[in-house]
Structure 1
Amino acid sequence: MDLETLIAEFVGGNLVVLLLAGLVILSIVLGVRIVPQSEKHVVERFGRLRAVLGPGINVIVPFLDRVAHRISILERQLPTASQDAITADNVLVQVETSVFYRIIEPEKTVYRIRDVDAAIATTVAGIVRAEIGKMELDEVQSNRSQLISTIKASVEDAVDNWGIEVTRAEILDVNLDQQTRDAMLQQLNAERARRAAVTEAEGHKRAVELNADAELYAAEQSAKARRITAEAEAYATQIVAQAIAEHGIEAAQYQVALKQVEALTAVGQGEGKQTIVLPAHAMDAFADAFKMLKGRV
């Protein structure tokens, strides 16, 4: 065997080895798939769904299986959409909405719907119009959180077959046309004027009630004082009558003498009174009083 033959055999054998090594490397490269945490890969075999690869290292059959779709499972936000709707009280409103969603079953998403964003936006618009049509304008403004919850639940039911999870739905704004705004402003001003008039009337009414209560209280206190005075006088009269009944005319004379003494004492205590004029029988009144008092003792 000559040298050329040996070289040809060596080169041919090494080429086969190199080809086999290259085939093994290519098989490993095509058969091993590393999927990022934020993605899922849809694998097809001869055009049919074969498997869905999750995050991490995955092995597929090289040359038979291929990754047909790389789907992000991160949460997405639809562009802010604006649609017209008519409320139950026939008011035209323009509603701005935004929806957040994520793909949880990519095998449904890639084989059942072509444009996910457009499909969700159309679904949201129809649901918003339907729900607002059930409510009056005041309810739309005051029950926005309830409306958002209803829209979110309805959208979730509608997109369930697409392998999508609606994470959040928001109503960013509810706009009115200029004529409706002017009418609402007039109504608001009228309501404010009515409340001011009611408040003023209630204040006047309260003032009248308090004044009447004060007058009634004063009258009650005056009547109470007169009643107490009358009761005191009646009691004093009763005591005198009882004394007269028990001790005869002497008790009456004793009371008269005491009154005379009290009157003279009051005259003597007056300011600026340096000269006191006594009636002729004043001393007799003192004497009688002391006699009666001595006799009672």
Structure 2
Amino acid sequence: MDFEQFLLDALQNNLVFLLLALLFVVLVFKSVKIVPQSEKHVIERFGRLRAVLGPGINMIVPFIDKIAHKISILERQLPTASQDAITRDNVLVQVDTSVFYRIIEPEKTVYRIRDVDSAISTTVTGIVRAEIGKMDLDEVQSNRDSLIDTIKASVEDAVDNWGIEVTRAEILDVNLDAATRAAMMQQLNAERARRAQVTEAEGSKRAVELSADAELYASQQTAKARRVLADAEAYATQVVATAINENGLEAAQYQIALKQVEAFSAMGKSDGSQTVIVPAEALSAFGDAFKLLKGRG
């Protein structure tokens, strides 16, 4: 009996030890929490916010603290949203937008907003309509980058209390209704026709200018040639005058007689001239020329 009592006591002691060891393991398991790199865990104690656990190994009070929310901190993309907006010049457009964000303060996100995606989408819709209403259609098309920056800044201000960081905002497309698109196409065609007419008119104008320049250049060259000829004649006259002054009247008579001889010689060489009738005055001129030549020889 004593041996059996000993075994019973030993078994009871071992059972207690095993229970204590099991309880210790459970406590350790419950108190040690490993948070992944891409998440943050919100801890509540008796229904109230206790702490936010970051990535890595964390310790909590078992059976008192509990993980109420596991929040991913990865960047998220909202589904593409389409909303109608009216520009300042009363044109109806359909704008496709998309927003990228990530949660940086989970304690604000889980306790201040129920459906964060829906809330951001509604906020973006209102901001897009308000900003496009301040711009004409041409400004919406040409200033898309500045419009995106404005929308992003406005959304950031609106969601600041939700613990969210807006990383990007994109305007994917701006669509027009069929009537507005047809009117714009008609306007575009008219603008192209106007530009073609302007180009043709400028070409004609340039052609006229070039023609006028050519005529002016020809006139200038003709006038220049006339001036050169006049200068040559004046020079020749000056040479003759100088010769008369230096050599007397005989030099002048010699030059005149020589020119007459050259003229009649050219007439005699022409193809259509078989007979040359020389007046008596010409014979006298020849005689004078020969006398002068002989005298000079």
Structure 2 length as normaliser, TM-score?
Answer: 0.91
Change (3 A) 1:68 1:28: same
1:35 matched residue in structure 2: 35
Question: Does the 8 Å CA contact 2:52/2:107 hold for their aligned counterparts?
Answer: yes
Q: Does 1:127 align with 2:127?
A: yes
Q: Distance in 2 between matches of 1:33 and 1:257?
A: 135
Deviations 1:226-275 (A, max 9, x none): 11111111111122122222332122112113323433554576679899
Residue in structure 1 matched with residue 76 of structure 2 by the alignment? 76
Name the counterpart of 1:91.
91
8 Å contact kept, 1:38–1:72? yes
Post-superposition CA distance 1:182-215 (Å, at most 9, x none): 2112111111111111111111111111111111
Deviation at 1:138, TM superposition (A): 0.6
Segments of structure 1 that go 5 or more residues without pairing to the other structure are none
Partner of 2:157: 157
Counterpart secondary structure, 2:7: helix
Change (3 A) 1:213 1:5: same
Deviations 1:20-74 (A, max 9, x none): 1111111111111111111111112222222211111122222222111111111
When structure 1 is superposed on structure 2, of 47-56 and 266-275 the one drifting more is 266-275
Distance 1:289 1:24 in 2: 154
* Residues 1:211 and 2:214 aligned together: no
Compared CA separation, residues 237 and 42, structure 1 to 2 (3 A): same
Query: Alpha carbons of 1:63 and 1:255: their partners in 2 closer, same or farther (altered >3 Å)?
Result: same
The answer as to whether partners of 2:82 and 2:95 remain within 8 angstroms in 1 is yes
Query: How many Å separate the matches in 2 of 1:247 and 1:282?
Result: 20
In 1, Cα distance between equivalents of 2:9 and 2:85: 83
TM-score by length of 1: 0.91
2:74–2:103: 8 Å Cα contact kept in structure 1? yes
Q: Find the aligned partners of 1:272 and 1:123 in 2 and give their Cα distance.
A: 107
1:15 Cα deviation from its structure 2 partner:
1.2
Equivalent residues of 1:85, 1:95 under 8 A apart: yes
Q: Deviations over 1:70-90 (max 9, x none)?
A: 111111110111111110011
Paired residues for 1:185-224 under 5 Å: 185-224=185-224
Query: What is the RMSD computed on CA atoms of the aligned residues?
Result: 2.2
1:180 aligns with 2:183: no
SS in 2 for 1:40: strand
The Cα shift of 1:164 comes to 0.8
Identity between Structure 1 and Structure 2 (%): 73
Supply the distance in 1 between the matched residues of 2:230 and 2:222 (Cα, whole angstroms): 12
Contact 1:260 1:285 in 2 (8 A): no
Equivalences for residues 1-297 of structure 1 within 5 A: 2-263=2-263, 266=266, 280-281=283-284, 284-291=287-294, 293-294=296-297
The CA distance in 2 between the partners of 1:175 and 1:138, in whole Å, is 13
Cα separation, 2, equivalents of 1:293 and 1:261? 16
Instruction: Give the 3 Å change call, closer, same or farther, for CA 254–19 of structure 1 in structure 2.
Output: same
SS in 1 for 2:134: coil
Cα distance, 1:4 vs structure 2 = 3.1
Q: Evaluate the alpha carbon distance shift between residue 226 and residue 22 of structure 1 in structure 2; reply closer, same or farther with a 3 A threshold.
A: same
| Cα displacement (A) at 1:147 | 0.6
5+ unaligned residues in a row in structure 2: which ranges?
none
Equivalent pair of 2:112/2:162 in contact (CA under 8 Å): yes
Checking the alignment, whether the CA contact within 8 Å between 1:250 and 1:292 is kept in structure 2 is: no
SS in 2 for 1:209: helix
Counterpart-to-counterpart distance in 2, 1:264 and 1:14: 160
